Structure 1
């Protein structure tokens, strides 16, 4: 059985997909790009501002189903410029301080709306 996730604290999907899905104990969070959920616009400014927005969107989605960033077990990151890896890591490490999830980072040629970062996550939220 699956449950669709929707929260006003994260951007509305820009295509035919859900913000996330709860399936059993797992939460699958769709790729998040740096869209401000209040304006529906891509975050301007520095790369670091966009990384923060993506992480805040993921945080909002996981929190909407009673989880936290600590419940995330796998993250996949898509960067248009792998040269931004160091800067990305600096910000990412503020969100995942202890026991960080497994992670893959890949460079891609393009992303939706021409953004420079997209991130998806999988969480495990069963409480035993």
Structure 2
């Protein structure tokens, strides 16, 4: 392992689909890899809408942050990738149900992306450790 880097992983979130870690802790931050709306028990995308997949992706992120000893309230930056930008309102609704603190994370969201496994949404975050 490289000095100052710690791999974060949990069975309560989907395993990586490629050559990457679920998250890496470094220099006081936790960098969570993009999470799809995959149910970690089945390994499959949850059925339903982009909002449903966003809600599951956020649950996966919470599980990873829990494993890192931090939480959703410590997220400072999020990136939301959507297959269809028209899903923004629905995805934002799921997102706003999770980030309810007085200081919400900085965020960028954009659509018309090709996402692995045919997913409708992918979300990554950076949090304080």
| Pairwise TM-score range, normalised by the shorter structure | over 0.9
In the alignment, which of 31, 36, 56 is matched to residue 28 of structure 1? 31
Moved over 6 A (4+): none
Deviation at 1:66, TM superposition (A): 1.0
Tell me which residue corresponds to 1:102. 106
Deviations 1:36-89 (A, max 9, x none): 101111111233221110000000000111101010000000011111111111
Deviation at 1:108, TM superposition (A): 3.0
- Which structure 2 residue ranges, 5 or more long, are not aligned? none
- Give the stretch that moved more between structures: 100-109 or 53-62: 100-109
In the alignment, which of 62, 65, 84 is matched to residue 65 of structure 2? 62
Q: Tell me whether 1:113 sits opposite 2:125 in the alignment.
A: no
In angstroms, what is the RMSD of aligned CA positions? Answer: 0.9
Query: When the two structures are superposed, what TM-score results if normalisation uses the length of structure 1?
Result: 0.94
In the alignment, which of 4, 7, 12 is matched to residue 7 of structure 2? 4
Tell me which residue corresponds to 1:75. 78
- Which structure 1 residue ranges, 5 or more long, are not aligned? none
* DSSP-derived class of the 1:95 partner: coil
Query: When the two structures are superposed, what TM-score results if normalisation uses the length of structure 2?
Result: 0.93
Q: How many pairs align?
A: 125
Task: Give the Cα separation in 2 of the matches to 1:96 and 1:47.
Answer: 17
